[in-house]
Amino acid sequence: MSRWISHHVASGTGAEIKWLREEEEIAAAVFPAEQLAGLALVIQKTTDEVEEMFDLVGDLVGADIHKHTFHLVFPEAEEIRGTMASTIGSDYTVELPHRYRATIRKTRSTSYATDEETVKYHLLALAAAH
């Protein structure tokens, strides 16, 4: 449906739909291009989000307190980059590179329009790893 609407929006055309039962027209509707464009925006904004919280131990190798971003690496796992709480680096300082226990919120979003998945990480807190 999303692709069909996108094609109409890109070409600036509307659509007329007729519902038929055998040869008899049951219902009909006309959708102007502007209405399809509005529907396309609604579909693009519709996502399914799942959040999960977890703690990990890894090496903090990067942090930008102005942009509120971080970079954590792990010995046997993928590295994680994302945003961080504004309190990290301002309310308390961190050392780089240094091993920390990190509390992270992972948000997985799936767009209904494109069926694409995006994953975002947000660093909530750091504590010295023992």
Instruction: Please tell me the predicted confidence (pLDDT) of residue 120.
Output: 97
- DSSP-based three-state secondary structure for 14: coil
What are the residue boundaries of the structural domains of the chain, listed by start?
A: 2-45, 48-128
Structure tokens of 77? Answer: 């796992």
Alpha-carbon separation of residue 81 from 4, 17, 62 (angstroms): 36, 47, 9
Instruction: Please tell me the predicted confidence (pLDDT) of residue 63.
Output: 93
CATH number assigned to the domain with residue range 48-128, chosen from the 4 options 1.10.3470, 1.10.287, 2.40.50, 2.30.29 = 2.40.50
Q: What one-character-per-residue DSSP string does 30-97 give?
A: EE-HHHHHHHHHHHHH-EEEEEEEEEEEEEEEEEETTTTEEEEEETTEEEEEEEE-TTBTTTB---SS
Instruction: Please tell me the predicted confidence (pLDDT) of residue 101.
Output: 95
pTM for this predicted structure:
0.67
Instruction: Please tell me the predicted confidence (pLDDT) of residue 113.
Output: 73
Instruction: Please tell me the predicted confidence (pLDDT) of residue 127.
Output: 93
Residues in the chain where the model's pLDDT stays below 70 = none
